[in-house]
Amino acid sequence: METRDLSAHVPYSAGRGVEEVARELGLDPDGLVKLSSNENPFGPSPAAVEVVRDAAEQVHTYPKSSHTDLTERLAERWSVEPAQVWLSPGGDGFLDYLSRTFLHEGDRVLAPDPGFAYYPMSARSHGATVDRYRLSKADNFEQSTEVVLDAYDGQRIVYVTTPHNPTGSEMPLDEIEALAAAVDEETLVVVDEAYGKFTDQPSARSLIDEHDNVAILRTFSKTYGLAGLRVGYGLVPADWADAYDRINTPFAVNKLGCLAGLAALDDEEHVRRTVEGARWAREYMRDNLDARTWESGGNFVLAEVGDAAAVAEAAQQEGVIIRDCSSFGLSDCVRITCGTEPQTRTAVETINEVLE
Ligand X SMILES: *Cc1c(COP(=O)(O)O)cnc(C)c1O
Does residue 96 touch ligand X according to CB under 6 A? Answer: no
Answer positive or negative: Cα dihedral of 222, 138, 284, 318.
positive
Work out which of 84, 165, 167, 187 binds ligand X, going by CB under 6 A.
Answer: 165
Work out which of 91, 168, 237, 261 binds ligand X, going by CB under 6 A.
Answer: 91
Q: CB of 193: closest distance to ligand X in angstroms?
A: 9
Q: CB of 125: closest distance to ligand X in angstroms?
A: 15
Q: CB of 88: closest distance to ligand X in angstroms?
A: 8
List, as one string, the DSSP characters of 61-72: S--HHHHHHHHH
Distance CA 39, CA 228 (A): 10
Which residues, at least 6 apart from 26, have a Cβ–Cβ distance to it below 8 Å?
none
Work out which of 96, 177, 192, 324 binds ligand X, going by CB under 6 A.
Answer: 192
Q: Which is nearer to ligand X, 264 or 354 (CB)?
A: 264
Considering only residues 263-322, where is the footprint of ligand X by CB under 6 A?
Answer: none
Does residue 116 touch ligand X according to CB under 6 A? Answer: yes
* CA proximity to 298, closest of 200, 175, 202, 190: 200
Does residue 325 touch ligand X according to CB under 6 A? Answer: no
Candidate ranges 12-20, 85-93, 264-272, 337-345; the one touching ligand X (CB under 6 A): 85-93
* Beta bridge partners of residue 303, listed in sequence order: 293, 334
Candidate ranges 90-98, 199-207, 274-282, 340-348; the one touching ligand X (CB under 6 A): 90-98
Q: Which is nearer to ligand X, 297 or 319 (CB)?
A: 297
Query: 334 near 311, Cβ under 8 Å?
Result: yes
Candidate ranges 73-81, 86-94, 98-106, 202-210; the one touching ligand X (CB under 6 A): 86-94
Does residue 324 touch ligand X according to CB under 6 A? Answer: no
In 83-113, which positions are buried (b, 16+ CB within 10 angstroms) versus exposed (e)? bbbbbbbbbbbbbbbbbebbbeeebebbbbb
Candidate ranges 215-223, 255-263, 324-332, 341-349; the one touching ligand X (CB under 6 A): 215-223
Distance CA 57, CA 154 (A): 50
Candidate ranges 84-92, 103-111, 130-138, 244-252; the one touching ligand X (CB under 6 A): 84-92
* CA proximity to 86, closest of 67, 63, 109, 64: 67
Work out which of 40, 161, 248, 296 binds ligand X, going by CB under 6 A.
Answer: 161
Q: CB of 70: closest distance to ligand X in angstroms?
A: 14
Distance CA 133, CA 116 (A): 13
Does residue 221 touch ligand X according to CB under 6 A? Answer: yes
Does residue 232 touch ligand X according to CB under 6 A? Answer: yes
Distance CA 263, CA 73 (A): 11
List the alpha helices (DSSP H) in the chain: 18-25, 46-55, 64-78, 90-102, 118-125, 145-151, 173-182, 207-210, 244-247, 255-266, 268-288, 308-317, 341-355
Q: Which is nearer to ligand X, 45 or 165 (CB)?
A: 165
Q: Which is nearer to ligand X, 40 or 343 (CB)?
A: 40
Q: CB of 57: closest distance to ligand X in angstroms?
A: 26
- The residue with its CB nearest to ligand X is 90
Distance CA 272, CA 269 (A): 5
Does residue 178 touch ligand X according to CB under 6 A? Answer: no
Distance CA 57, CA 65 (A): 16
* CA proximity to 163, closest of 201, 195, 141: 195
Work out which of 101, 155, 162, 219 binds ligand X, going by CB under 6 A.
Answer: 219
Contact footprint for ligand X (CB under 6 A): 38, 90-92, 116, 161, 165, 192, 194, 219, 221-222, 227, 232
